[in-house]
Structure 1
């Protein structure tokens, strides 16, 4: 049996955001329908080199595939080595015989499926009339979040805040070329978020950036940045007046944005709702236009698996064009 080897460039030629959004929705449904087994995430904090390495894996019980992703984030990669700060490799293995079906660059899939996660949450939890989005952070994930959200909502205004005013302006300059909307950068984060219908946070902050009183009724927040113990982007008090939806209860309690509210007793674990449960109709998300909804995303390996499977599926019709490497 052949193992497919895929580069980032090959993946980029066949994978589009609409397919990724569909794959992420499917992942959430599979997870909440107990069609996948996800072991705990294995994480290494590499302080010496200002980085972290995470190993996420999952067993897709439907297609009988095991997927493993080794992903890393290094703050100084670009500066020191001229390479992306985020690196990842995904391996898909056939459980019937242990043969690797594919080994592929995982950075692009990770970025796109993370962007799609915020969009999926907004699709099911934000008010349908939402037109104004606040993007907190200016990195690569902040870019994919907007690209994905623009596929789901007819946006009008994009409010941007970053720690670096220069980077915020560069974000706007770059994104305007791809998504022509009305952009405004803010030095004051309160001004940025208080006007928004949807707020997407994408930073690696370890202290609250957004205060509870800044968030107006009816707002939807997608919290993407907090994916390890200690990270935090929201004041915990906000959870006390919001409806909370998570990608995984177990993961979010340990490493998600909600970890602090759980620890402080503001939220009980039994009150958390999984995104898949909302998509499947098992539980209700937003109940009124006045609800504040919070989606806590830590990232599930099944998202990588469903998206990687989509790549392989599309490749079946494009193998001649891409000259796929086989071993």
Structure 2
């Protein structure tokens, strides 16, 4: 069995390749070629209620199956530790033999942003030039790479509650991409001129308000993934067109969706389409260039196992 650590993952799974893998994944997931059982997410009995998750998926009889075992420790933000740590265990489907153990933190970092890249390509206005990143951690770095892969971004605004994190982000990303990064003192100032917004925080309370959002903006809301946490206010969720990674996952795990639903501010028909439905053209995307769109994702096991498949097969060719 091969062990593949983070450095090799980043070498093999570039953002462009990951976006292509995610497009194929959502197509096959929509067509029932890829399946995933219900994942298990448990809160640890510690004071922070940190999370341990088991996320299985199956890619077909002639392919692979496996699971991601991962922890989510929000307090790791701003430290040397990633907020998500673990491994993906990959098995060959024909005989059930394990073939690889792959660093899950790097897969999560790349594929989460790649999915937002797919959503942005499908939903953001084609002339979008400005990007706001709320949170300046690893997901901000990968999301900048993903959005640059699908839109011609000229200006990047960033806000983080830790000023040093935003400063480090600016220094690193300007050197890496040659883009202009402006550090903002508030979420409101960060999003004011943004055509594309990515909310990348573990916030327990909603903070993104409709009156702050530019007409026609697209929002990738991916920071939270439990029924009691959210980043989008109920009022903004009600006013925007909502797209999701998976209906079942969102209706079970997304506080961004479930809280306004329980408040009766939105109905259970508020979701306009999933990424799979957009890619298969079963449903249409943004209704007009003036509409505000939200892509809400909690993360899917099929994404992790599809990335693990790609990484393992690419490593075998080296």
Question: Structure 2: how far apart are the matches of 1:116 and 1:52?
Answer: 23
> Are the aligned partners of 2:61 and 2:93 in contact in 1 as well (CA < 8 Å)?
no
Deviates more, 1:132-141 or 1:188-197: 188-197
Q: Which of residues 180, 192, 195 is equivalent to 1:194?
A: 192
The 1:141/1:49 distance shift into structure 2, 3 A limit, reads farther
Give the Cα–Cα distance (whole angstroms) in 2 for the partners of residues 78 and 162 of structure 1: 11
- For structure 1, the 5+ residue unaligned runs are 319-327
Q: Give 1:66's aligned residue.
A: 65
Stretch of structure 1 that moved more, 119-128 or 161-170: 161-170
Q: Decide whether the 8 Å contact of 1:135 with 1:159 is kept in 2.
A: yes
Structure 1 position 194, deviation (Å): 1.8
Moved more, 262-271 or 49-58: 262-271
Q: CA RMSD in A?
A: 1.8
Structure 2: unaligned runs, 5 residues or longer: none
**2:58–2:64: 8 Å Cα contact kept in structure 1?**
yes
Cα displacement (A) at 1:149? 1.0
Equivalence for 1:48: 46
Partner of 2:100: 102
Any conservation in 1 of the 2:119–2:295 contact (CA below 8 Å)? yes
Counterparts in 2 of 1:76 and 1:186: CA distance versus 1, 3 Å: closer
Q: In structure 2, what is the Cα distance between the partners aligned to 1:101 and 1:310? A: 13
Instruction: Please give the residue correspondences for 1:242-253 in structure 2 after superposition, counting only pairs within 5 Å.
Output: 242-253=240-251
Could you say which residue in structure 1 is the equivalent of 2:266?
267
TM-score (norm 2): 0.93
Give the equivalent residue in structure 2 for 1:88: 86
Change (3 A) 1:26 1:62: farther
CA distance in 2, matches of 1:196, 1:243: 17
Aligned to 1:325: none
Tell me, in whole angstroms, the C-alpha distance in 1 between the residues paired with 2:287 and 2:117.
19
Aligned residues: 315
Partner of 1:217: 215
What is the distance in 1 between the residues matched to 2:203 and 2:218? 20
Alpha-carbon shift at residue 128 of structure 1 (Å) = 0.3
Mark the CA change 1:264 to 1:169 in structure 2 (over 3 Å): closer, same or farther. Answer: same
3-state DSSP of counterpart to 1:196: coil
- Give me the TM-score of the superposition, normalised by structure 1: 0.91
